[in-house]
Chains A and B, each alone.
Chain A
Amino acid sequence: MISFDNVSVTYTSEKEMALSQLSVEISEGEFICVLGKSGAGKSTFIRTINLLQPVTKGTVHVSGENLDRLSEKETRRLRTEVGMIFQHFNLIPRLSVKQNVLTGRFGQKKAFENLLGLFTKQERDLADYYLEEVGLLPFANRRVEHLSGGQKQRVGIARAMMQEPSILLGDEPVASLDPTTSKNIFQLLTRLHEQRQLTTVINVHDVELAKNFATRILGLKDGKLVFDGKPNQLTTKVYDDIYGHDIKSETFASQIK
């Protein structure tokens, strides 16, 4: 489904590599959580999958396509197959919940249809369906600024699902939410993943969430893959590998138990 072959990413502003010779295969239907300290390359990793970040060296394949060789039009088509949710939700202010969800369809429509808001009955029903899925149908006509953080992320998820993607990416989707809301969001993501065999790749800070919900965990440190395994293979040593000795291992040790 997704394969990284010797991928490196260097930002022009920095000397160090954000990703360094990373190779990994992700199969269809996996639910992957990516762990790592801030600056470990988690965001860069996720963002190379939908080409928000181009790679410097190596190749990434998504659904059998080499991302290196895509024209702008093909890139846009690929992005319609990859949904993404963000830490700060990135919703469009002043639009309603439902209008925001419908923007998920933008990549699949003509410019004038988007400009004039010409959506088919089918698309509007689909928006309602996903709003129901994320529990926000009663809020469909409310402006997004008036929602809580958790609700905003649900709108973000509905917008991504509106693309009817085969892959769902999450760039720290719960980092600005409280623990209970974070758990609810992960439960929702698991449900969507199970219903549709959606390949899901999510960055997360909270090890406990990763352990409870992921089918596979990747650990990044300084742009390198230092762990790739099942949640039950996470040991204190693995934590040290991912987070380094500078962080108190006891805190994490207590989290794995």
Chain B
Amino acid sequence: MIWFRKRLLVYLIILSVAIFLSAKQAEFSLISLFQLNNTWDFIQRNFWPIRWELLPYLLEQSLVTLGVAFLGTFAALVIALPVSFLAAANTSVSKFGYFTIRSSLSLVRSIPEIVFGLVFVVSLGLGPFAALMAIFLHNVGVLGKLISELVEAADSGPQEAMKSVGSSRRIGQIFAIIPQIWPNVLSHYFYRFEVAIRTSLVLGMIGGGGLGQSLMNYYNSLAYESMATAIVIIMGLVILVDVMGGIVRKRVI
């Protein structure tokens, strides 16, 4: 029993209590679990046959979704990259600046995209632009934090070398850190892009346009076969982005 300490027992109790309380809150019931069969029934009865004639229209909508997700996250990356240097302990301008920027990033990140979306749909009007802004803002917060952590973990050797050749602080940091963290920056970026595709679907449901809006329209008008077609396209889209990210990352490393 050499691996086990008394403290583990305490953790076990805390964990059990947490599981029990969560199950209660979520109204988890074994009886309902057996009704999962109904879900399968529902899918079988309504999702078939897929309506392929909707394909051209839905592909067009998927371009909207793709555009929103790409531009939203890419613009976020462009802003987050310099900001992350100000939000990293080893490269920030001052302690005050570091804390201010870190907490602003946390603040932006703590607001879910759907909340931003609900606000922008009202203020900017219905359509993809509201979704774009929601995705952009949230991802500045997420990418800013993730990249600033990469900056903090970067090997200090090259930075010291840049200092010793007499380079200015900023130039030294840019050259010594960005090449080191670049593959990880891209991998974070592609993950966020993939997440943004799913988010833009949800934002579509509240009026942000694209595939999500079509999906919601079909659902509300009980056109389940049309909805199934949209789901197939969504799956294809996510897989496509995943594969693309893999290829780019491989080329970069």
Contact = CB atoms under 8 A, between A and B. Distances in A.
Interface stretch (B141-149, B160-168, B186-194, B196-204): B160-168
Interface in A89-115: 89-95, 103-108, 111, 114-115
A80 interface: yes
A114 B158 contact: no
Contacts of B56: none
A10 B200 CA distance: 56
Contacts of B157: 86, 88-90
Contacts of A50: 164
Interface residues of B, number: 20
A244 B227 CA distance: 81
B180 A77 contact: no
Contacts of A104: 165
A163 B176 contact: no
A79 interface: yes
B161 A86 contact: yes
Nearest to B168: A111
A52 interface: yes
A82 B161 CA distance: 12
Nearest to B157: A90
Nearest to A78: B166
A103 B159 CA distance: 12
B179 A93 contact: yes
Q: Which 4 A-B pairs have the closest CB atoms?
A: A107-B166, A106-B167, A79-B166, A90-B161
Interface of B: 157-158, 160-168, 170-172, 174-176, 179-180, 182
Interface of A: 50, 52, 76-80, 82-84, 86, 88-95, 103-108, 111, 114-115, 156, 159-160, 163
27 contacts: A52-B163, A52-B164, A79-B163, A79-B164, A80-B166, A82-B164, A84-B161, A86-B160, A90-B157, A91-B158, A92-B158, A92-B161, A92-B175, A92-B176, A95-B179, A103-B162, A103-B175, A104-B165, A106-B166, A106-B167, A106-B172, A107-B166, A107-B167, A111-B168, A114-B175, A115-B171, A115-B174
